[in-house]
Amino acid sequence: MFSYETVKKVLFLFDPEKAHHIAECGLKVVGKCKILRNYYEKKNYIINQKLNQELFGVKFENPVGLAAGFDKNATMVNSMKSMGFGFTEIGTMTPMPQDGNPKPRMFRYPEYKSVQNAMGFNNLGAHAVLKNLKKVYPFPLPLGVNIGKNKYTPEAYALSDYKTLIKKFESYGDYIVINISSPNTPNLRDLQNEKFINELFSMAKELTSKPILLKIAPDMETQTAIELCKTAVNAGAAGIIATNTTIDYSLIPNCKDFGGLSGAVLSEKSSLLFKEIAKELYGKTILISVGGISTGKQAYERIKNGASLVQVYSSLVFEGPSMVRKINEEILELLKKDDYENITEAIGANLR
């Protein structure tokens, strides 16, 4: 089999969005071919009881998941275990199909191991995504569904979009994520306020018993972020995912002045905000950390700071699918070093 370094050289000849489509085609092939699926699963998927935990009433065999944004339309779910993931998250999808923002809208910064995207919730729409999802759910891995409002839905009617999506997907995922933190839909982040969050989770509780999580942006003042997360949990949120991409363009010299930055440059910003949120909410809700994670050491630090799970996305572009296996192997080494029998003993260790 080709090494990822060889594959990466070819992929990087194409613009990032085209390269993503090529990768999608490859993963679709893996997902449909049992021989390839089994080969890569044996190669990448770590089986070790020390990594097992139960959350939301579902077994997670390892704590490393794929963040939303990679598999927007639920077309690559079947290949996720072959990539080593312990869970996956599809979306973000909207009620109606959406083309997203004008191209080019994705940019690589290899020297910073980072990506900038201004995609704008491009997806096939709830009906088509649900059709794809029904082909694979229930899935051997826990599966999250990430939902957002359509670009042209006025803020006053945003609640209706989320209501539509919760009702549509609540039977076809293990948890649902409310995305009001993407920087690529105009005014979406304005919904990160206590009034809307209270209304949203009050409504969600009446619609479903499925766990509903809130994903937040990394660019708020720390205390504001903490208060919003506390509001969400008090209103019924089953967990917090921190964080989405950042609009702090000072992190990369001469980057674009639109879209969100992710990858290595987001690591410190995301980690610091997550740590502060966890100080307030660890033990009161499920916490998932995402943003600039590419090594087991980084993942383990987030876990010790209160994360039950971690997610990756942009780092895959630079490190390849073997990265997930390496992260899990390193977590196991660190658990052994700290004399923990199970990952649950490490979660929140820095806060106890």
Inter-residue contact 279 to 247 (CB < 8 Å): no
Query: Is the pLDDT confidence value at 2 over 90?
Result: no
The whole-number pLDDT of residue 306 equals: 98
**Is the pTM of the predicted complex or chain greater than 0.95?**
yes
Domain range 4-351, CATH class:
alpha beta
For the beta carbon of residue 258, count every other beta carbon within 10 angstroms.
14
Q: Which two tokens stand for residue 282?
A: 């660890």
For the beta carbon of residue 341, count every other beta carbon within 10 angstroms.
10
For 79-138, how does the pLDDT look when each residue is reduced to its tens digit (9 = 90+)? 999 999 999 999 999 999 999 999 999 999 999 999 999 999 999 999 999 999 999 999
Q: Which of 321, 274, 316, 325 is nearest to 294 (CA)?
A: 316
For 129-165, how does the pLDDT look when each residue is reduced to its tens digit (9 = 90+)? 999 999 999 999 999 999 999 999 999 999 999 999 9
Name the DSSP letter for residue 123.
Answer: B
Q: Tokens 């995301």 map to which residue?
A: 270
Determine the Cα–Cα distance for residues 157 and 211; give it in Å rounded to an integer: 23
Cα dist. 72→18, 92, 121, 124, 148 in Å? Answer: 15, 6, 8, 8, 11
Task: Give first-to-last CA distance, the chain, whole Å.
Answer: 45
Name the DSSP letter for residue 284.
Answer: T
For 263-282, how does the pLDDT look when each residue is reduced to its tens digit (9 = 90+)? 999 999 999 999 999 999 99
- Point out the catalytic residue in the list 79, 182, 271, 289: 182
Inter-residue contact 144 to 177 (CB < 8 Å): yes
182 is an active site residue: yes
